[in-house]
Amino acid sequence: RGPIVCCLRITYAGFSGRRVKARTELFPVAGVRHAHPLAIASNSSIVGLMSRCLRSLLIVLATLLVAEGAELEGHPAYQAGLRALQDKLPDLAIRRFEEALPAFENDEEARGVLHLRLGEASARAARRNADPVEARAQAEAALAHLAIPGLAENESARFWSAQAALRLVRFEDAARYLGSLHDATTASLRIPAIQNHARLHAALGRTEEALALLVELENSSDPAVVAESRHLQASLQLGLGDHEATETLLTAEPPADRPTMVRYQSYLRARLALAGERFEEAATLFSALSANPEHLTLPFYQGSILGQADALQALGRTEEATDLLLGFLDKNPRSPLLEGAFGRLAAWTPAAETLRT
């Protein structure tokens, strides 16, 4: 009969899970205005043959149709990335956001959002990664994502650039980013930026600059922000030896619904008592903290044990202090406070006694 020239019509029909749905209809070219579809059913021999031959073309065309009309907020990979960030799984979020990028090749606004999210996820991953080589690569990737021209004035991009710079030990770069956010339009960025900037100043020995920034936060309407600011100030004033200022800063109680803050304030009061040579009070406060580590971060919990040992030794109860330190070393062989514990033992006991267990 000779060849039949046909027209294959592909109609995009939406998503089904992660698969593109499309409908195919096959028409003869001649009389197409009046003809009904030759075949639509999937068991048609002609459609079956054409579908096998043109499957790749169908996928490409349907994907292009989806990309052209897709919105970022409804994209499955983008939504999966957001869920991963919320679940504190930044490595998974990176993969999902990268999967979404090709669908928005011609949408600069959507690509800007994706690069911002990739920068945030990469910075978060770098902060959590204990491998220095991998963490450096992730931090560099974060800076690259956040450096695209469309994000130059974006406050979130600057905040996460600061986090990446901190991970790379580029303190001056981090300070510049954080300083640019002191007047950020949203408190969710402005307050963490000021807090991080103050901590950075303190770590670099710029105590006065750190204190000046923290005082600004006492005007916050959020009691938790005020309490954290006063705690940071108290720790710095204690380091300067200003016990009176420290006492004043610890007068107000932190919010009762923030147990970590409540416990940290007890830790600061114990340190203040020890510094003020109120050894009985210090020993009691540190003992209460070390007996119950709940809502106390590991550095402060272990610091409480060493603080209690210091107070006991100052009271002349050296044997109790030594036993406490030996127990600490036995239970925490990899603690960052090992050097301090060994130094105390060496100063308080004869060498033979130090190694008796």
Site of tokens 């009762």: 256
d(CA 168, CA 241): 32
Burial class (CB in 10 A: 0-12, 13-18, 19+), 334: exposed
Does pTM top 0.85 for this prediction?
no
In this structure, the chain runs to a length of: 357
pLDDT at 219: 87
Residues 46, 24: contact at Cβ < 8 Å? no
pLDDT at 334: 87
The rounded average pLDDT for each run of 10 residues, N- to C-terminus, in the chain (357 residues) is: 56 45 56 42 46 50 44 92 96 96 92 96 95 96 96 95 96 95 92 95 93 92 94 95 96 93 96 97 96 91 95 95 93 90 88 47
d(CA 198, CA 179): 10
Residue 54 structure tokens:
């043109």
Angle (CA) 323 328 332, round 5°? 155
pLDDT at 180: 95
d(CA 165, CA 32): 64
